[in-house]
Amino acid sequence: MLEFLSKDVREGLEAARKYNERRKSRLRVQVGEAVFPVLRFWHDGFVLDAAFAPKLRGIVDVYEGSRHVFKCLIVASVAEVGEITCEFKTMTPVTEKAALDFWLDPVLPVGLLPKA
């Protein structure tokens, strides 16, 4: 259907679609000091706008607004039709507290009473 429209109209529609995806998505990828908006995100990859982002490899941080959500290891990125598709090998959720290095008993007593 779009092939019947003029080139300027098609480019305008594509720019409006990308702008709308960037505006809707709160996700962003941060590599060092550089920040790139995420257009789409799924279980093993995401899409960035090729006009703003380079091809990425290595560990990146994914934020939702100001909250740090994931650390991802990008293993492949492919540029196609104005978008960069990045696939990652691992996606580690970021937690507020450190991981425990010991087993915590679920029926641990709340407190101990001294002998009377």
Domain CATH code at residue 67: 2.40.10.430
Q: Which two tokens stand for residue 97?
A: 């507290």
Give domain status of residue 100, yes or no. no
Give domain status of residue 62, yes or no. yes
Give domain status of residue 113, yes or no. no
Could you tell me the residue range of the domain that residue 33 belongs to?
Answer: 2-93
d(CA 116, CA 97): 38
Q: Determine whether 88 is exposed, middle or buried from the number of CB atoms within 10 Å of its CB (0-12, 13-18, 19+).
A: buried
Q: What global pTM score does this model have?
A: 0.66
pLDDT in tens, the chain (116 residues): 566 788 888 888 877 777 766 666 688 999 989 999 888 889 889 999 888 888 888 999 999 888 999 999 999 989 888 889 999 999 999 988 887 888 888 888 777 778 76
Give domain status of residue 13, yes or no. yes
How many domains would you assign to the chain?
A: 1
Q: Where are the beta strands (DSSP E) in 26-97?
A: 27-31, 34-42, 45-49, 58-64, 67-80, 83-93
Give domain status of residue 112, yes or no. no
